[in-house]
Amino acid sequence: MSDVTTPTDRYAGSSIQKVSLLVGIVFLLVGIAGFVPGLTTGDLGGAGHGSMAMLLGLFQVSVLHNIVHLLFGVVGLLAAGYATGSRMYLVLGGVVYFVLWVYGLFTAGHSFGANFVPLNWADNWLHLVLSIGMVALGVVFPRERRRPVSAA
């Protein structure tokens, strides 16, 4: 048995893992909220610009959009088990949201087949904020250093 332990030996033991866990929980809650009547109004479609559902009266959602949020949340929870996985989740997730923002610049608010998620302008600008925030969190939060195990 080793006399050193790392916070990353525990689930969500380091600060970066805690951030990944928190971001994952937020995505899960948003995904669930997209299915809750009252939080989401209008006709919830399966996918595409035809879904007229609005989360909090602002963000256009669909069943596909909600499932993507749920999956993103599950990945965050799984990534919280490892410091490296947490950092990858945040940075790569931020890159994915940046690509989605660029995609939304051309499709948000339009009613053609390429807007399959669907996206409106509120979604699109939120994706830019998520992109910047996730990458920043993934880069800024440090890994914990090895610490000796205290004798009990």
- At residue 146, the pLDDT reads 52
Confidence check: pLDDT of 149 > 70:
no
Confidence check: pLDDT of 2 > 60:
no
E strand intervals along 10-61: 40-41, 53-55, 59-61
Q: What's the whole-number mean pLDDT along residues 73-99?
A: 95
Confidence class of residue 49 from pLDDT cuts 50, 70 and 90? low
CB 123 within 8 A of CB 131: no
Confidence check: pLDDT of 75 > 70:
yes
Q: How far apart are CA 77 and CA 97, in angstroms?
A: 18
Q: What's the whole-number mean pLDDT along residues 101-123?
A: 77
Q: Please tell me whether the overall predicted TM-score, pTM, comes out greater than 0.85 for this model.
A: no
- At residue 46, the pLDDT reads 78
Instruction: At 78, give phi and psi (nearest 5°).
Output: -70, -40
